[in-house]
Amino acid sequence: MKNILVLCTGNSCRSQMAHGYLEALQSEPAARIYSAGVETHGLNPDAVRFMAEDGIDISGHTSNHVDEYEGIAWDYIITVCDHARENCPFIPAPGAKRLHQNFSDPSKVTGSEAEKREAFIAARDQIKAYCRDFIERELR
């Protein structure tokens, strides 16, 4: 079983969505999924809501700091925002494949509820597509 770490700035939104999709989209469990941040901001309620609209329940997830997972042998470390990639502490993971894909942060969007919703749905759908491709490419 492979170990995958999804890393973001605050482990509240993008990494949580990727965590949810990477778990849910595996046809057979091939990997344990963890998500963390270089900071912790708590689980974003809009991320929970918009993931639930797509049938993925992340309401039981917690916002974790990357240091909490010290000692896990990582097979993959995926950063999902530029800030996490640039500010991540050193993670000793010899042999881990490190991947990066920057997704815009929907929690930073201001404006009407419709504009905020549109930002979350766009980020969610991009993350879902990335996770599908990752599973097909790396876990099959």
Of 13, 36, 51, 88, which residue is the catalytic one?
Answer: 88
State how beta strands 2-8 and 76-79 pair.
parallel
Strand order in the sheet with 76-79: 31-37, 2-8, 76-79, 97-100
Of 4, 5, 7, 8, which residue is the catalytic one?
Answer: 8
The span from the CA of 60 to the CA of 70, in Å, is: 22
Q: Quote the tokens at residue 22.
A: 């990477």
Of 7, 81, 127, 131, which residue is the catalytic one?
Answer: 81
Respond yes or no: is residue 8 known to be catalytic: yes
Place of tokens 């905020």: 116
Respond yes or no: is residue 131 known to be catalytic: no
Cα 77 to Cα 4, 20, 119: the distances in Å are 6, 16, 25
Enumerate the active-site residues: 8, 81, 88
